[in-house]
Structure 1
Amino acid sequence: MITVTDHAEASRFEAHDGETLAGFADYLRTGELMAFTHTEVRSAYEGQGVGSLLARAGVEAAEAEGVKVLAICPFISGWLARHPDLAHLEYRAHSTVVD
């Protein structure tokens, strides 16, 4: 069974299969957002939903903390695109600066 935990000291969510690290999702945190920068799943666990477990855990943690999600990582961005019910959590710049 895969378990996902927030390894805050390393700024990443980790997926473990027992003692084995199956994958991770790196993030940066600010007062208003959680920016996901990189997601990696070990080849032995690809195609088994580990990346989705990491994405869901990260997005749910952001929601629980009341911060937005900035998906720099293409995997997290794609995962969010497939879950429009979570679109309200996506960070959107509110700048009015124009060229």
Structure 2
Amino acid sequence: MTSTARAPEPEIVNEKDASRYTLTRDGVLLSVLDYRDDGRTVAMTRAYTVPAFRGHGYAAEVVAGAVADIEAAGDRSVDAVCWYVADWFEAHPDKAHLLRRR
């Protein structure tokens, strides 16, 4: 009999008190997205992946999770302050409606 155990799925959590979304797997921090929320706009200021876990798409995953969370709430726009977040929105034009109009 062969084992087909799969690694647990990463979990995205909005840590509101710390103004960040985190991506973890089995309690291990993989990536972080820092933000500032003024009640109308969520300014995504920094996407960071722990160096040991870079190159696996974790930053994209935490940004996608945060964007989905903001979109589901429906009461905020996004300001892509971080270059990585701006690039993510360029690659996902279907989410451009969430961007703050300047």
For normalisation by structure 1, the TM-score amounts to 0.88
Unpaired runs of 5+ residues, structure 2, are 1-8
* Residue 84 of structure 2: aligned partner: 75
Correspondence for 2:31 among 4, 23, 31? 23
Q: Which residue of 2 aligns with 1:34?
A: 42
Deviation track 1:65-88 (CA, whole Å, cap 9, x = no partner) reads: 221110001111100110000111
Which amino acid is the alignment partner of residue 15 of structure 1?
L
Greater Cα radius of gyration, structure 1 or 2? 2
Structural mapping, 1:1-99, within 5 Å:
1-66=9-74, 67-93=76-102
Cα deviation, residue 58, structure 1: 1.1
Do the aligned residues in 2 keep the contact of 1:2 with 1:50 (CA within 8 Å)?
no
Alpha-carbon distance in structure 2 between the residues aligned to 1:33 and 1:14: 19
TM-score scaled by length of structure 2: 0.86
Where does structure 1 lack aligned partners over 5 or more consecutive residues?
Answer: 94-99
Give the deviation of 1:22 after TM superposition.
0.8
Identity across matched positions, percent: 29
Structure 1 vs Structure 2 CA RMSD? 1.0
Count of paired positions:
93
- On the 8 A contact 1:63/1:89 being kept in 2, the answer is yes
